[in-house]
Structure 1
């Protein structure tokens, strides 16, 4: 249990002592006591100790007296108590000056002080404090261990902590989401918009947490209104334990309670995470069986899904969400973080309003897949587009991400095909789009056909015949003829509209069209246009 210089000075054996300098340091911690018997004492002392001395070993050396307190400060000592008169008439002024400068407690002892009695008094105080702390630690530990033996979770532990400390407590996970509270009716964490903690591995410092507000029962407070204890295993942050401050000083019981509770909560966190991951593995296996058509009865699938708290229903769509990250380990960690957080389900439900139990995420084939019920309504596609855009701009904004959305699976028999559609959509669109994207399978059009061509050299040769000369000319002259050709076809061969789309003068466009004809591009018939358009699509897919 913590002991300070102020408590030492209040001991009966120090009744005749005077604090002559360094009063600002009276809250320094004390954990030991030393005697100065040799001039070079510094190798024999340690931090948080009180040095008792007559200064006899250095009384005749002003230089050693001057450097004494700075060296004690460097050793992180707690204070210096000097008994003058026998070897010094009074405490040297330089000692008082240095003690005041470093806010280091300097105590003048009475001439009849017995250094051994002073030492014994300090050691008895430390022993009593440590015995009290040990008893409190054991009581708290035994009570919480008894709860854990009965299967208690995080909620019961935080209730016990709040009860023993007689003050409100809050438990947050590593994403600063409220997991539990005691003696508060309502709690909410308020974070700045740019405050990203989703992928943090280590616990945040108090300085970082200073940006966060906690709203409790209608009032907002900074984190500094709470005693703060991170919960972690090694370098991995699991959460944060907060106890409301109710006084200026932090008691040793409070510190012990926070540390002990955090230690036990870490084991509960790990236990619950292990259970969640096992349940996720069972869910993954269940969905794999459905996609591999090992469970063909729709009624059977719907009933088994209830085991995973999944209100599975049809029609359904499948979304493939893929992070384009080179490091496979980091990618897996990202996917796992999103699956465990429930963030995607909340965002999807916000737009589709089907309930989070109608949405399931799994990790499969090095990607994340979302299975969700969709209602029969005209606005479903519009909501899916808005939802996907929001996902890309908010929680998926940290890396290039692709979202592929299948067509609707009306029955269980169509679900494996919907899964393949979602995966195919990402695979193909990734080759065309350089940024993050959200694409529907139905919009792939001719690109899907290209991907099914077994001999891709056939496509390359067709492209070379139709627009190879244009691409070669662009590479040599940087004329942007391919871009012009694409825009011309997209504008239905309307020259004026094309010039407007490209932000070029009409005559500039006419000159480019003439050059395209010189390079062998024929757009005289519908079939010509179709073939050139196909060649352009092939180039986009293969470039």
Structure 2
């Protein structure tokens, strides 16, 4: 109850406010009756004190100290029986009460302090009981909305009608997820703010307010919690006064029902994601043998076979995060959920799959040019937002474009290879496009001892030290292969007689133990020359 409502209690009828009129909207939650000299130390916020001022009768100046301390402690008001021991309230006390906006009033002589306290507490309890009953009825009403299948939109519509203000449900990253078309004018500034380089960082409190300068609108925000974490925010357009118990109780009951509904939706979404992830990773691992089965299952997740796809594999950069395996994985999952949520705002067809530390994105393309014009800018924006929101960095590997869903299996491997190339180069926060490895890159991936064995086997006797020290035969053989086995061209490049070339080649065949007319032999020799460069 407010002070002005308390003064209407029958036991207080006839009370006169003599100071602090502007504070009559202060909240009264407790009533106390004291005449002890150390009364100040026992007072609490929102408490109404009634007294005969017996301990002040000989030192009226102490009344100033009492009023000042009660205002400091955010007490509700002070009621004094002036006709008992303190004949009148000093003007200095009235001036101080006006200055501190702290209500001071004279109590009627007819009622005892005990009756005043009892009747006032009774009215406060009655009002609290009515508020609690109202809360129960409101909770039932909102629960029935959900149980009858009307869902969250209808609940928000009903809540908006009850409190007389537009209501919008935001997710945990302050992105609108449920609202009516008429509310778009209120959320546009929020979406614009989220899409810029700035981000909302809502405080971890049940209730707070903020204003946006761009539309000069005030928003009241109530946190919606689930058993695991903060699930989102209920945003009310307009200012909700903290002591407006009726409105706040109504909103709190709505948030309670919303928390249960969001928990249920989250469980269903997690199950759907699990099934979707299982299908995708079983598919790329080649565990489905029937193409018809692949096509039918892909349709369940809105993946059409006759569609161009770009596969992108992402992984968080940096060292190990402190915590248990479960804690680390939960943090990773939270970031990937954020990525999935961000893609909804881009309005570009995409699908996200997660497995351990990595995530896989499938973009539906109309033509190849969208890779540079759309996909790359989106990935760069995601990198910036993850860095800002979570203080982490992420890198991506990009595949070639697949002409249909069946080819996504190869694209998945290409994206993974591109990501590995970027990581092995020591980079972070990169976007690496896949390219086919050349022969030298492939050979470098083979263990050094295996390369030596192949080199010695391919060149046979030519790998002996004497021919390495005097590379005439090796050089002649190399030029012969480079000129497509043309003897005349070889002699011309080496500035030797044609017969000399023939002699050297016959000597090479003798040391190789193989004919140079054999294509398999010449291929192995070519590879041996490449390996020689690596070994040196």
Q: Same fold (TM over 0.5)?
A: yes
CA shift, 1:365, in A, is 4.1
State the match for 2:172 in structure 1. 174
State the match for 1:210 in structure 2. 211
State the match for 1:484 in structure 2. none
**Equivalent residue runs for 1:130-141 within 5 Å:** 130-141=128-139
1:413-459 deviation digits (Å, cap 9, x = unpaired) = 64333222211211121232534221211166568526632349989
1:69 to 64, 67, 70: 67
1:59 to 57, 60, 64: 57
State the match for 2:81 in structure 1. 83
Instruction: Report if the CA contact (8 A) 1:202-1:235 is conserved.
Output: no
CA shift, 1:314, in A, is 4.5
1:447-501 deviation digits (Å, cap 9, x = unpaired) = 8526632349989xxxxxxxxxxxxxxxxxxxxxxxxxxxxxxxxxxxxxxxxxx
State the match for 1:189 in structure 2. 188
**Does 2:343 align with 1:342?**
no
More divergent stretch after superposition (416-425 vs 336-345) = 336-345
State the match for 2:253 in structure 1. 260
Query: How far apart in 2 are the matches of 1:250 and 1:456?
Result: 80
State the match for 1:520 in structure 2. none
Query: How far apart in 2 are the matches of 1:6 and 1:183?
Result: 41
Q: Pick closer, same or farther for the CA change 1:196–1:20 going to 2, 3 Å.
A: same
Instruction: Report if the CA contact (8 A) 1:347-1:387 is conserved.
Output: no
CA shift, 1:164, in A, is 3.2
1:22-50 deviation digits (Å, cap 9, x = unpaired) = 22321110012111142223455433221
1:79-115 deviation digits (Å, cap 9, x = unpaired) = 1001113212212345334433432211123444543
Aligned residue for 1:123, secondary structure, equals helix
1:295 to 279, 288, 301: 288
**Does 2:4 align with 1:6?**
yes
CA shift, 1:4, in A, is 0.7
State the match for 1:155 in structure 2. 153
State the match for 2:141 in structure 1. 143
Aligned residue for 1:407, secondary structure, equals strand
Instruction: Report if the CA contact (8 A) 1:46-1:77 is conserved.
Output: yes
CA shift, 1:52, in A, is 0.7
Query: Alpha carbon RMSD of aligned pairs, Å?
Result: 3.8
Count the aligned residue pairs. Answer: 449
Structure 1: unaligned runs, 5 residues or longer: 214-219, 351-355, 460-526, 539-543
State the match for 1:475 in structure 2. none
Aligned residue for 2:102, secondary structure, equals coil
Query: How far apart in 1 are the matches of 2:206 and 2:253?
Result: 20
Query: How far apart in 1 are the matches of 2:440 and 2:112?
Result: 94
**Does 2:381 align with 1:391?**
yes
Q: Pick closer, same or farther for the CA change 1:244–1:413 going to 2, 3 Å.
A: closer
Q: Pick closer, same or farther for the CA change 1:36–1:417 going to 2, 3 Å.
A: same
Query: How far apart in 1 are the matches of 2:301 and 2:533?
Result: 48
Query: How far apart in 2 are the matches of 1:237 and 1:292?
Result: 36
**Does 2:412 align with 1:419?**
yes
1:29 to 27, 30, 33: 27
1:279-327 deviation digits (Å, cap 9, x = unpaired) = 1111111112102211133332222122234345444332111220332
Instruction: Report if the CA contact (8 A) 2:295-2:305 is conserved.
Output: yes
**Does 2:363 align with 1:372?**
yes
Query: How far apart in 2 are the matches of 1:130 and 1:82?
Result: 26
Structure 2: unaligned runs, 5 residues or longer: 453-526
1:128 to 99, 115, 126: 126
1:274 to 267, 271, 274: 267
Aligned residue for 1:29, secondary structure, equals coil
Instruction: Report if the CA contact (8 A) 1:178-1:189 is conserved.
Output: no
Instruction: Report if the CA contact (8 A) 1:339-1:361 is conserved.
Output: no
State the match for 1:541 in structure 2. none
**Equivalent residue runs for 1:325-336 within 5 Å:** 325=318, 326-327=320-321, 329=327, 333-336=331-334
Query: How far apart in 1 are the matches of 2:121 and 2:362?
Result: 66
Q: Whose radius of gyration is greater, 1 or 2?
A: 2
Instruction: Report if the CA contact (8 A) 2:313-2:358 is conserved.
Output: yes
Query: How far apart in 2 are the matches of 1:267 and 1:309?
Result: 28
Instruction: Report if the CA contact (8 A) 2:16-2:107 is conserved.
Output: yes
Aligned residue for 1:395, secondary structure, equals helix
State the match for 1:49 in structure 2. 47
Q: Pick closer, same or farther for the CA change 1:451–1:87 going to 2, 3 Å.
A: farther
CA shift, 1:136, in A, is 1.4
Query: How far apart in 2 are the matches of 1:457 and 1:84?
Result: 106
Q: Pick closer, same or farther for the CA change 1:340–1:284 going to 2, 3 Å.
A: farther
2:233 to 240, 262, 282: 240
Q: Pick closer, same or farther for the CA change 1:248–1:39 going to 2, 3 Å.
A: closer
State the match for 1:428 in structure 2. 421
CA shift, 1:183, in A, is 8.6
Instruction: Report if the CA contact (8 A) 2:397-2:419 is conserved.
Output: yes
**Does 2:301 align with 1:308?**
yes
TM-score, normalised to structure 2's length? 0.72
Query: How far apart in 2 are the matches of 1:17 and 1:118?
Result: 11
Instruction: Report if the CA contact (8 A) 1:162-1:183 is conserved.
Output: no
